[in-house]
């Protein structure tokens, strides 16, 4: 349940996000309406096969609020890459930076395999709730064994994102991951035009690990629909990310931190 001020904050966040999109859309014109979004790229790790794992930051590198979006962790679920790529052209809401990783599992995305080049499901390889698993959910020889998992852990611990969004397919639901701010997730779902769903906790997932190492912050999964996303659907996901980015440092975020007094 969300308070009235919370709802107002959500509306304001959506309006700010829409304004950001309008600015992004106007950048192609000659009008000097706004400075182009500042972008900064770096390599944050390498895959088993040596492919660089690239991070692109949109907005102020030193912004107080950071929203991390990972386009592809399962190589058979690549629709989210269109979303992270589109976000590069968006304007981050004031005071927020977007941290964009197209493909954490760059080898799997290139090969079209769920797992990485070792056949490990990276979303079962994180060291919270890890269990030995084989088959398509193979969790690796030990928790955090894979270089892609290490890269993600280093990045998350360095940036301490207020919100992390992991894009998957094909459930067509936004997942209410334990530990994440449900109001934020519901805002994302509403702007994206999606429904929410609760899943039983899975072993060794990225969101479960983040909930433990960054309590009071929000990491959640967006299960996109199957297939390639049409342009209008990409735009809706972009608006949803920007709405959450605008919201994460407002009263909603502050309230959420109050609800988690153990937060660092």
168 scored as a contact of Zn ion (CB under 5 A): yes
Geometric angle at alpha carbon 17, from 263 and 243, rounded to 5°? 40
CA-to-CA distance for 34 and 114, rounded, in angstroms? 41
Alpha helices for 172-250 (secondary structure H): 182-192, 206-213, 231-247
Residue 146: strand pairing partners? none
User: 248: closest CA among 227, 219, 221?
Assistant: 219
Question: How far apart are CB 168 and Zn ion at their closest, in Å?
Answer: 3
Helix and strand numbers (H, E) in the chain are 8, 7
| 14, 77, 121, 210: which one binds Zn ion (CB under 5 A) | 77
Q: Which is nearer to Zn ion, 58 or 103 (CB)?
A: 103
Question: How far apart are CB 11 and Zn ion at their closest, in Å?
Answer: 31
Q: Which is nearer to Zn ion, 77 or 210 (CB)?
A: 77
Question: How far apart are CB 108 and Zn ion at their closest, in Å?
Answer: 11
**Judged by CB under 5 A, which stretch of 51-59, 85-93, 167-175, 230-238 contacts Zn ion?**
167-175
**Judged by CB under 5 A, which stretch of 47-55, 135-143, 160-168, 171-179 contacts Zn ion?**
160-168
Number of residues located near Zn ion, criterion CB under 5 A: 3
102 scored as a contact of Zn ion (CB under 5 A): no
**Judged by CB under 5 A, which stretch of 48-56, 125-133, 161-169, 234-242 contacts Zn ion?**
161-169
b/e 165-195 (16+ beta carbons within 10 angstroms → b): bbbbbebebbbbbebbbbbbbebbbbbbebe
Question: How far apart are CB 120 and Zn ion at their closest, in Å?
Answer: 14
String of contacts with Zn ion for each residue 112-151, x by CB under 5 A: ----------------------------------------
Q: Which is nearer to Zn ion, 78 or 217 (CB)?
A: 78
Site for Zn ion in 37-76 (CB under 5 A): 74
Q: Is 9 exposed, middle or buried (0-12, 13-18, 19+ CB in 10 A)?
A: buried
Q: Which residues contact 42 (CB under 8 A, 6 or more apart)?
A: 54, 55, 57
Question: How far apart are CB 74 and Zn ion at their closest, in Å?
Answer: 4
Q: Residue with structure tokens 């977007």?
A: 98
Question: How far apart are CB 124 and Zn ion at their closest, in Å?
Answer: 10
Q: Which chain residues interact with Zn ion by CB under 5 A?
A: 74, 77, 168
């Amino acid at each position: 349940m969300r308070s009235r001020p919370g709802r107002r904050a959500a509306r304001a966040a959506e309006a700010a996000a829409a304004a950001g999109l309008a600015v992004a859309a106007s950048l192609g014109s000659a009008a000097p309406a706004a400075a182009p979004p500042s972008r900064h790229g770096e390599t944050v790790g390498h895959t088993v096969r040596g492919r660089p794992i690239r991070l692109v930051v949109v907005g102020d590198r030193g912004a107080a609020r950071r929203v991390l979006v990972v386009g592809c962790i399962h190589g058979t679920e690549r629709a989210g890459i269109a979303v992270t790529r589109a976000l590069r052209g968006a304007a981050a809401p004031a005071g927020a930076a977007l941290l964009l990783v197209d493909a954490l599992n760059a080898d799997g995305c290139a090969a079209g395999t769920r797992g990485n080049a070792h056949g490990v499901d990276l979303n079962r390889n994180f060291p919270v709730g890890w269990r030995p698993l084989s088959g398509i959910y193979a969790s690796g020889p030990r928790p955090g064994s894979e270089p892609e998992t290490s890269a993600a852990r280093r990045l998350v611990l360095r940036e301490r994102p207020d919100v992390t969004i992991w894009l998957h397919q094909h459930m067509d639901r936004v997942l209410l991951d334990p530990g994440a701010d449900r109001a934020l997730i519901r805002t994302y779902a509403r702007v994206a035009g999606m429904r929410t769903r609760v899943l039983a906790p899975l072993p060794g997932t990225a969101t479960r690990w983040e909930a433990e190492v960054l309590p009071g912050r929000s990491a959640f999964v967006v299960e996109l629909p199957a297939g390639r996303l049409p342009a209008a659907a990409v735009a809706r996901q972009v608006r949803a990310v920007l709405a959450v980015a605008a919201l994460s440092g407002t009263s909603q975020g502050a309230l959420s931190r109050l609800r988690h007094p153990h937060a660092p």
